[in-house]
Amino acid sequence: MAQIWARMVADFLSIASMRNAALQAPSIAYEQPLNERVRTLLRVEFLHHQGRFGIAGESQWHSRLALSTFVELIDLLGRGDLRYELQKELQRLSNTLLALQQAPGVDPTRLQAILCECEHLVEQLRATPYGAGNEIKNNDFLYTVSQRSGIAGGTCGFDLPVYHRWLHQSPELRRADLEHWFEGLEAVGKATHLVLRLLRESADAVPEIAYGGTFQASLDRTPPYQMLRVLLAQGEPHFPEISGNRHFCTIRFLEQTSLRERPQQVAMDVEFRLERCTV
């Protein structure tokens, strides 16, 4: 089993290891986490991307999106010590990769770059103050906005004149404030991106067929799979509904002819590509 695991990671780090040629075609990736940690990381990644989109824009609506996303991120990170969990995960990845330095087919330059990135991010995470919500608790403006954000329409101008005034500041001033607030979450965002990038790149896309629109497979292995990715060509009329755990997965393909109607399972065989990801 150790030899299989070493060969898999070596393939991942090898220059000669190529992704499936079909991946070059435009496709949509549908991801399904298989444990709570990856589920949280995917949500953090999503919110970071959304926040960065809001910061990059100049309109009041961009700033609103960025600030509401910041509040969501703080709430999500406040449910556990993700900072510490990411440190442990990066150290685990480093130890795994260090053991493969002399393995055949491993690109030493790429390996060293990943190890340096892991080490740098661990140091950044250690330097990040504990307590994701402190920035809101210690800032009356942010605290007021966060308290009203849970109410539908609760951040209207008449509800929060101080927020209304801030939104009418220059785009440069608003962006500077947002960058400052997001700065405390930067290390978590970068570490999350690295862990998920390595996870996504750990697997090749394997062609599969869902007979009658349904695919089932055993996932028993050591180490366990952490995420599934179903790849479908853009323009396909159907989409997957993925359910699973570390032992078993079921993928059903559904089609929705109208957004007003409930999706229905397709009866035909569906060809797709499946990535079983673990690092």
Q: The pTM is what? A: 0.87
Give pLDDT tens digits for 53-85: 999 999 999 999 999 999 999 999 888 788 899
Q: Is the pLDDT of residue 11 over 80?
A: no
Separation of alpha carbons 23 and 27, rounded Å: 7
- Please report which helix (H) or strand (E) contains residue 234, including its range: none
Distance of CA 244 to the CA centre of its chain: 18
Topology at the third CATH level for domain 2-33+203-277: YacF-like (2.60.440)
Topology at the third CATH level for domain 40-195: YacF-like (1.10.3900)
Q: 53 and 59 in contact (C-beta within 8 Å)?
A: no
236 pLDDT band (50/70/90 cuts)? very high
Show me where the domains of the chain are located.
Answer: 2-33+203-277, 40-195
Please enumerate in sequence order all residues whose Cβ is within 8 A of that of 99, keeping only pairs 6 or more positions apart, or say none.
6
132 pLDDT band (50/70/90 cuts)? low
Distance of CA 147 to the CA centre of its chain: 27
The pLDDT of residue 59 is: 98
Pair type for strands 248-255 and 238-244: antiparallel
Separation of alpha carbons 39 and 170, rounded Å: 37
The pLDDT of residue 131 is: 67
Question: Looking at per-residue confidence, does 50 or 2 come out higher?
Answer: 50
The pLDDT of residue 133 is: 67
Q: Which residues pair with 271 in a beta bridge?
A: 209
Separation of alpha carbons 103 and 99, rounded Å: 8
Order of all β-strands in the sheet with 27-33: 27-33, 227-233, 270-277, 206-210
DSSP 276: E
Q: Is the pLDDT of residue 5 over 60?
A: no
Place of tokens 């605290």: 143
Please enumerate in sequence order all residues whose Cβ is within 8 A of that of 192, keeping only pairs 6 or more positions apart, or say none.
41, 44, 45, 48, 86
Q: 197 and 3 in contact (C-beta within 8 Å)?
A: no
**Position 128: which residue type?**
T
Give pLDDT tens digits for 184-234: 899 999 999 999 999 999 899 999 999 999 999 999 888 899 999 999 999
Q: 277 and 200 in contact (C-beta within 8 Å)?
A: yes
